[in-house]
A = this chain, B = another copy of it.
Amino acid sequence: MSKPSKSRAEKFAKDELKSIIERVERLLEEKKAIADDISAVYAEAKANGYDAKALKTIVRMRKEDPNARAEFETILETYMQALGML
């Protein structure tokens, strides 16, 4: 038949959808690659005798506000004291 099976508008939408999905997929691949790089850094550090869990804790702590952290530590120690954990 001479009539196209899909209208121009439908074709356009189709391409748009495909484009969205593929952009996300490409970004997800990049994100995964970086996550793998991070794992590799920790694995190498571990091989050199570092404690990966402690390294992760350090990274997390450096992101936090120092004042907020200090305050939290104070509360925590108060509770631990009251519970005989110190």
- A residues sitting closer than 8 Å to B (CB atoms) are 13-14, 16-18, 20-21, 23-25, 27-28, 30-31, 34-35, 37-38, 41-42, 45, 48, 50-51, 53-55, 57-59, 61-62, 72, 75-76, 79-80, 82-83, 85
Q: Which of B13, B27, B50, B62 contacts A17 (CB 8 A)?
A: B50
Contact B59 A72 (CB under 8 A): no
Contact B38 A28 (CB under 8 A): yes
Smallest CB separation, A74 vs chain B (Å)? 9
Residues of B within 8 A of A42 (CB): 24
Q: How long is the Cα–Cα vector from A70 to B45 in the complex, in angstroms?
A: 22
Residues of B within 8 A of A61 (CB): 80, 85
